[in-house]
Each structure stands twice: as C-alpha cells, then as structure tokens.
C-alpha cells in the first residue's frame, strides 16, 4: 500500500470525495467510463452492486498489472415502484421525477465495492426517503436552482431538497451517494481502519 494515500476512488462525484474525507480515508482519483444502462429486467439492488463493481474494475484496469492498490467504486439509485430513476436528461424529465417522488416514500440504494488484483467485495445499503407534497412553483424553483441536474432521482438531500424530506429511514450518507457504515466495514476487510 502506498504511504501517501489509502485507496483509489473510481468516481467523479464530489459528494463521494467529501464523504471519504469525512472519515479520514486518503484517496487518489481515477477517471472511469462505465455504462449506467440497466440490463433487461435487472432488479435495482443487482444494478447498483453491478455498477459499483464495474466502476472499481474499470479503475483497476487503469493501474499497472503488478499494482496491489485498492480501488473503490460506488453507485446510487433512486427507486420508486420498482423503477430506477437515474440522472435526468433534461428539464422535462427532472420535473417528472420530482412529481413522481412528491408526497410519498421511495428507496435509495447505494452500493460500495472495493477491488484489488487478488479479491473484491461489495456491500449494499437501502434507505427509505419520504418527501412531502411538492407544488409546481417549488418544482420550478428547484429546477431553476440547478441542483437537480446530474443527480439520481433529480434531487440532492444534502442541498436545498433537504426541505422536501419529511422522513428518512436508513443512511443519510448512503442517500448522498456513499454509505459510510458499509464503506468503513468493507475497508476494514481490506486492512484500512479510518479511525487510525
């Protein structure tokens, strides 16, 4: 293991960088390209775990074959009525997602995977988020804030959308994009203890 950092992070997400820094995990970023298209009839829990592993694997492929470093990949999906709500492509899709989430509960599934040349492991966190009813002016204002772009389910719980959330059962960090409880557990399996 290198002395200046603990793992490689195969993610462009600023939230995942913030969350790893929060638990004192030192990392280097790896740029990876992975298709996020769900497979036919693929359950959401399978989808997020597959993508987390695919991102870690893609990161590992950027390293020399003899490199023993660890690569962390993660993925998060917002799930309502068994449908995966990805990142909205445009204003119409973002507003439709917010209307779909309004006044009801949905699940947020976050998977974290760690991989090295010898082995791999993945853990899943499932949280339930309840949103109050959103009116059209609020949906319009939230779109105009720019916050819902590039976010699964078209919202960011750590931002302005926090005022929409009436209840959360599960992991706040998991809804943000990296479940820290599971992340610490999986890193410990690979010999990294964030408390040290």
Per-residue CA distances from 151 to 89, 97, 176, 185 (Å): 10, 11, 10, 26
Split into its structural domains, the chain has a count of 1
Domain that holds residue 146: 7-189
* Each residue's pLDDT tens digit, 100-130: 999 999 999 999 999 998 899 999 999 999 9
Single pTM value for the model: 0.92
The helix-helix angle for 14-22 and 180-189 (nearest 10°) equals: 70
3 pLDDT exceeds 60?
Answer: no
* Each residue's pLDDT tens digit, 166-192: 999 999 999 999 999 999 999 999 999
Please list the active-site residues: 75
Q: Compute the half-sphere exposure of residue 173: CA atoms within 13 Å on the CB side of its CA.
A: 19
pLDDT of residue 2: 46
Kindly indicate the confidence band of residue 50, based on its pLDDT and cuts at 50, 70 and 90.
very high
In a domain, 62, yes or no: yes
In a domain, 142, yes or no: yes
Q: CA-to-CA distance for 104 and 97, rounded, in angstroms? A: 12
Where residue 109 sits, what CATH number does that domain have? Answer: 3.90.950.10
In a domain, 45, yes or no: yes
In a domain, 196, yes or no: no
In a domain, 2, yes or no: no
| The CA-based dihedral angle spanning residues 83, 50, 170, 18, taken in that order and rounded to the nearest 10 degrees | -110
In a domain, 115, yes or no: yes
pLDDT of residue 18: 95
In a domain, 89, yes or no: yes
Q: What is the mean pLDDT of residues 5-20?
A: 91
């Amino acid at each position: 293991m290198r002395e200046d950092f603990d793992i490689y992070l195969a993610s462009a997400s600023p939230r995942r960088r913030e969350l790893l820094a929060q638990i004192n995990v030192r990392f280097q970023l790896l740029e990876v390209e992975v298709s996020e298209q769900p497979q036919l009839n693929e359950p959401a829990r399978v989808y997020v775990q597959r993508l987390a592993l695919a991102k870690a694997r893609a990161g590992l492929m950027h390293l020399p074959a003899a490199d023993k470093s660890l690569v962390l990949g993660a993925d998060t999906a917002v799930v309502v009525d068994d449908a995966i709500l990805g990142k909205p492509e445009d204003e119409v899709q973002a507003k439709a997602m917010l209307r779909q989430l309004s006044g009801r509960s949905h699940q947020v599934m976050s998977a974290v995977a760690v991989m090295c040349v010898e082995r791999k492991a993945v853990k899943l966190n499932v949280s339930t988020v309840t949103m109050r009813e959103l009116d059209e002016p609020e949906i319009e204002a939230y779109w105009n804030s720019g916050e819902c772009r590039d976010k699964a389910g078209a919202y960011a719980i750590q931002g302005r959308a926090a005022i929409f959330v009436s209840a959360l059962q599960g992991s706040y960090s998991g809804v943000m994009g990296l479940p820290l409880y599971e992340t610490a557990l999986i890193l410990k399996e690979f010999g990294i203890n964030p408390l040290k």
